[in-house]
Amino acid sequence: MTENYFDGRLAVLGAGVMGTSITAMAIGHGVPVTLIDIDGDRLSPAREEVGEQLRMARLMNALPTGREPGPLTTSSSADAAAGATVVIEAITELAEEKGKVLADVAAVVSEGTPLVSNTSAIPIDELAGAVSRPADLAGVHFMNPAYLIPMVEVVRGPRSSERTMTAVTRLLTALGRRPVVVGDGPGFVTSRVLHRMLNDAIRVVEEGRATPEAVDDLFQGCLGHRTGPLRTADLIGLDNLADSLRVLAERTGDEGCRPCGLLLEKVARGDLGRKSGRGFYDYGGRTS
């Protein structure tokens, strides 16, 4: 795919796993980024995490060669998004919190500035009800790590304007991503299919019929799944997966999407997957 240079500034809301991953990808493509998180204590470790992901992306030849990295600025105020060319929200998968953050930033950016929610399950039109200009809102679903997975699910809400959709797809193309546009609804395409499957895989382990290793081996060896469902769940973050499953269960009525007991137990213990050092596998992190 041909890359075009993005002549603008990106504001990323949320300095968690996906916010730092998106930031690293954008900076690596030469794009200036303002990373915003209302919890100012998260910004210093987030800057370190972005640097680590940039180093990993370079080692894996996942960034364009010969391009200077874009500058990174950080802030704990939504006002820092003023003047951004595009805003990407990447906070926790809770509709009320996403809606508030999007409303706050919509108040400080100019009309026509694309507001993009990075969500795995919440319908875009539901979030559009929280902003003053719903035509400016669209959805994306980056996979983790964003710098390594080139395909991105792009969600056109019922009120998303053509101008917004064009701006979002152009940005993604400039970032070396391949946008695939889909319609709105709980979980869109990938999460609607994948997250219930992950929940079922965890349930099989919960029932004692197979170990995580056995489940993943079968999916890799028999079905060609790259990592297996339990390693995938650990990469997503078990807390994020549980939040996404709750959204799907509440908005579709599908009880198979309700987070199973073992998943909730691990979240309650703080075993969240790769980001905490332990989930269904041990990554050399927490030992207590």
In the chain, what are the domains? 10-183 (3.40.50.720), 190-269 (1.10.1040.10)
Question: Percentages helix, strand, coil for the chain, rounded to the nearest 5?
Answer: 45, 15, 40
Mind telling me the catalytic residues?
Answer: 141
> pLDDT of 61-77, one tens digit each?
999 988 899 999 999 99
DSSP 133-166: -GGGEEEEEPPSSTTT--EEEEEE-TT--HHHHH
Distance CA 188, CA 84 (A): 27
The pLDDT of residue 142 is above 90: yes
β-sheet bridge partners, residue 89:
13, 117
Q: Which residue shows structure tokens 């105020």?
A: 77
Is the pLDDT at 6 greater than 80, yes or no?
A: yes
- Is a pLDDT exceeding 60 seen at residue 1? no
Polymer length of the chain: 288
> pLDDT tens digits for 173-204?
999 999 999 999 999 999 999 999 999 999 99
Average pLDDT over all residues of the chain: 95
Q: In sequence order, what DSSP letters do the residues of 187-246 get, joined into one string?
A: TTTHHHHHHHHHHHHHHHHHTTS--HHHHHHHHHHHH--SS-HHHHHHHH-HHHHHHHHH
Residue 158's pLDDT band, with cuts at 50, 70 and 90, is very high
- pTM, 2 dp: 0.90
Element (H, E) at 95: helix 95-106
